[in-house]
Every structure is written in C-alpha cells, then in structure tokens.
Amino acid sequence: MRAPEIVEFAEMTHQGWNSLFGRDVVAAMKAHALLQLSEPERARAVLTQAPQGPLVALATAHLNMSVGPARRCA
C-alpha cells in the first residue's frame, strides 16, 4: 500500500481527523508522501485544497523548495 492510501485509510477509520488541525495534519502528510513518490503536482493539488494551517504552510514551503513554486499561465 502506498503512503497516500495509508493516510487516507487512517483519515477514514479514526475519529478526530475532521477538526481543522486534523485536516491540516492529513493534508501535510499526503503532500509529503506524494512528494516522496515524485508526484509534486498531486502534492500541490492536495495543499491547494487544504485549509491553510501551519503544517500546510510548512509543507507548501517544502514543496516550493524542492520543485519550485507553481507556474501560472497567463
């Protein structure tokens, strides 16, 4: 089982992940796992949709340091 699926399983089976902090933790964990799997665009999508808590902010900074900020098309 890949890391993102493990995180999603934990999210579905444990109570408490519905809090703002819980969603912040899960989003950061998913993004980190996706980045480790060389899927930075999927990681960026997870972080873009997540509430902007402190762990999401750190995960976004880590992603940007690893692969650069998202490019915007005009």
Work out the average pLDDT over 52-72.
88
Q: CA-to-CA distance for 74 and 61, rounded, in angstroms?
A: 23
Q: Residue 73 pLDDT more than 50? A: no
Other residues' Cβ atoms within 10 Å of the Cβ of residue 36: 13
Residue 25's identity, in one-letter code, is: V
pLDDT tens per residue across span 5-59: 877 787 777 776 678 888 898 899 999 999 998 999 999 999 999 999 999 999 9
Nearest to 27 by CA among 2, 18, 68: 18
Q: Which residues have CB under 8 Å from 59's CB, separation 6+?
A: 27, 28, 31, 32, 43, 47
pLDDT of residue 74: 41
pLDDT of residue 45: 94
